[in-house]
């Protein structure tokens, strides 16, 4: 996953506009837009500031590390990793819709599974 996607996801999870995040970092309002559209990349100083603000590592922001991959010393199933990557790209409304649909699928599965 690339920096621009991770930045957008973190900003949206914290319910910040691009302008609000730019203000926190002391940047022009268009700076975050430029980061998220891959027109520009942050300086090392701004990368560290983003990392501290969102409480994630620089490696995570840059896509060099995925904290969700190792579980008890093992790597998650490829389908789970793929699903998680897709999930991270969803906005808040889509996440809620996905949860509702997942509950529906579990209900449907329970109804069709012999007891």
Question: Which residues constitute the domain of residue 63?
Answer: 1-67
Phi-psi region of 15 (alpha: psi -120 to 50; beta: other; left: phi over 0): left
Cβ atoms of 25 and 49 closer than 8 Å: yes
How high does pLDDT run on average in the chain?
A: 85
The CATH number of whichever domain residue 55 belongs to comes to 1.10.260.40
The percentage of the chain sitting over the pLDDT mark of 90, rounded to a whole number, equals 51
> What is the chain's Cα-based Rg?
18
If you average pLDDT over residues 4-31, what whole number do you get?
Answer: 92
Same domain, 54 and 75: no
Same domain, 45 and 24: yes
Lowest mean pLDDT: which of 14-18, 32-36, 77-81, 98-102? 77-81
Same domain, 59 and 88: no
Q: What is the pTM of this model?
A: 0.59
pLDDT at 77: 61
Same domain, 82 and 33: no
Residue range 44-85, pLDDT digits in tens: 999 999 988 988 888 888 888 765 343 444 445 667 777 887
DSSP class of residue 2 equals -
């Amino acid at each position: 996953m690339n920096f621009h996607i991770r930045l957008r996801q973190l900003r949206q999870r914290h319910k910040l506009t691009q302008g609000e995040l730019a203000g926190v970092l002391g940047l022009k309002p268009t700076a975050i837009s430029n980061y998220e559209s891959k027109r520009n990349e942050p300086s090392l100083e701004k990368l560290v500031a983003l990392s501290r603000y969102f409480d994630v590592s620089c490696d995570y922001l840059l896509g060099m590390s995925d904290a969700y991959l190792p579980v008890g010393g093992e790597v998650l199933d490829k389908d789970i990793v793929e699903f998680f990557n897709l999930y991270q790209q969803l906005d808040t409304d889509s996440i809620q819709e996905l949860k509702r649909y997942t509950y529906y699928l579990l209900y449907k599965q329970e109804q069709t599974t012999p007891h």
